[in-house]
Amino acid sequence: MFNNRKDTFLNLQGQTNQSPYLIDVEKAEGIYIWDKTGKRYTDMIAGVAVNNIGHRHPKVIAAIQEQLDKHLHVMVYGEYIQDSQIALAENLASILPKSLSTSYIVNSGTEANEAAIKLAKRYTGRQEIISCKNSYHGSTHGSLSVTGNDEKQSSFKPLLPQIKFIEFNNIESLNIITDKSACVIIETIQGDAGLIKPNQAFITALRKKCNETGTLLIFDEVQVGMGRTAKFFAFEHYNVIPDILTLGKALGGGMPIGAFISSKEIMHSLTHNPMLGHITTFGGHPVNCAAANACVDVLKEENWIVEAETKGQLLEDVLSQSSQVKEIRRAGLFLAIDLGNQDKVAQVVKKCLEKGVIGFWFLSTPTAFRLSPPLSITEKEIKEVGETILSCF
């Protein structure tokens, strides 16, 4: 129908933006992606924080193959007992606080956030939802409603009603939270805003305010969970536990999956009045659960989470050598390289791609670009790729 693969891609696949990267992927392994001409790229974004354990980890591939030999989809989520679902739920419970022991496995991070909001409304009987300005929680209508970005929302209104927004790291703004609020949904570390970390006073005050008002606290760790920040979960840095946790991206080891996690008491409210308070046909797909369970095992067994802080600091040190870098914001092995100029960012990212290094944008922070390489990257590889990035400034 079309003369080449590029034209087919651009015309027969729905597009997300007007200038996609157009890497024609042949294969991927570890921290590398190869295109069909044989050019090798160092993947310094890990599929946007998905491939935390690298591409095609052998244990994930083996787990997928083992499950393929048993069965694929057999029933909508929650009706049949399935080995891979049980194993994943047990594994997640083993690395989380006791109050976060019950997992509901879904298809994606945005579905996890949608379902978490529903759960909070159902459990509390309240309708008001509090989110943060400059946040990002996904592109479906509910998740978009709590995304604090007018530009993203403007073409899709009306969205969910009764949404209010607090300011990240502004304790005074927490007064918006009252006994009418069902939940506060907040990124433990704001990603799309350009990697903004909460200060301890704010996150402690937020937990206290939620306790006082009976408001459920939801931490969205779709982007920063699963070892990215040098802890299994970013909330571990702050000694504050949410009522509901959402996960996605890196959970699947390269396969599509999400989860919202809470206590048995809170989660059980979805089973009645009405029954099927949340239902998902392909959520908890056995192959994806097998991959996710293997991914958790790999992160338990390797030292990559412990090493993420050292590796992240090394990459920061290398890139800080350039006078063009205005600021580096970092959490573990997740970096925002702020150049203070949108055109400069575009230039650097383009040059990096030409030299075989994949960086990426922040949707709402045009003056910075993101780096979030697989946690499996070595210090030698960091030094090498860091020097390549420096040569693009």
Nearest 5°: the CA angle 379, 380, 382 is: 60
Query: In this predicted structure, what is the pLDDT of residue 105?
Result: 98
294 with 346, same domain: the answer is no
Burial of 321 (0-12, 13-18, 19+ CB in 10 A): exposed
151 with 283, same domain: the answer is yes
Write down the residue that tokens 């992160």 correspond to. Answer: 299
Domain limit, last residue, from 253, 286, 301: 301
H or E element that contains 219: strand 216-220
Please confirm whether the linkage preceding 286 is cis (ω < 30° from 0): no
288 with 338, same domain: the answer is no
270 with 351, same domain: the answer is no
Query: In this predicted structure, what is the pLDDT of residue 3?
Result: 78
Cβ-count burial 364-390 (b if 16+ within 10 Å, e if not) = bbebbbbbbbbbbbeeebbeebbebbb
131 with 26, same domain: the answer is no
Domain limit, last residue, from 301, 320, 338: 301
pTM of the model: 0.97
126 with 268, same domain: the answer is yes
Q: How far is CA 2 from CA 6, 24, 67, in A?
A: 9, 16, 38
216 with 356, same domain: the answer is no
Domain limit, last residue, from 301, 321, 356: 301
Where in the sequence is the domain holding 120, given as residue range(s)?
59-301
Query: In this predicted structure, what is the pLDDT of residue 340?
Result: 94
CATH number of the domain where residue 370 is located: 3.90.1150.10
CA 230, distance to chain mean position in Å, is 15
CATH number of the domain where residue 292 is located: 3.40.640.10
Q: How far apart are CA 22 and CA 6, in angstroms?
A: 7
128 with 182, same domain: the answer is yes
Query: In this predicted structure, what is the pLDDT of residue 2?
Result: 78
Per residue of the chain (393 residues), what is the pLDDT tens digit? 777 998 889 899 999 888 889 999 999 999 999 999 999 999 999 999 999 999 999 999 999 999 999 999 999 999 999 999 999 999 999 999 999 999 999 999 999 999 999 999 999 999 999 999 999 999 999 999 999 998 889 999 999 999 999 999 999 999 999 999 999 999 999 999 999 999 999 999 999 999 999 999 999 999 999 999 999 999 999 999 999 999 999 999 999 999 999 999 999 999 999 999 999 999 999 999 999 999 999 999 999 999 999 999 999 999 999 999 999 999 999 999 999 999 999 999 999 999 999 999 887 899 999 999 999 999 999 999 999 999 999
Query: In this predicted structure, what is the pLDDT of residue 197?
Result: 97
203 with 261, same domain: the answer is yes
Angle between helices 304-319 and 379-390 (to 10 degrees): 30
User: Do 64 and 287 meet the contact criterion of CB atoms below 8 Å apart?
Assistant: yes
User: Do 192 and 220 meet the contact criterion of CB atoms below 8 Å apart?
Assistant: no
42 with 86, same domain: the answer is no
**Number of domains observed in the structure of the chain:** 2
258 with 125, same domain: the answer is yes
132 with 99, same domain: the answer is yes
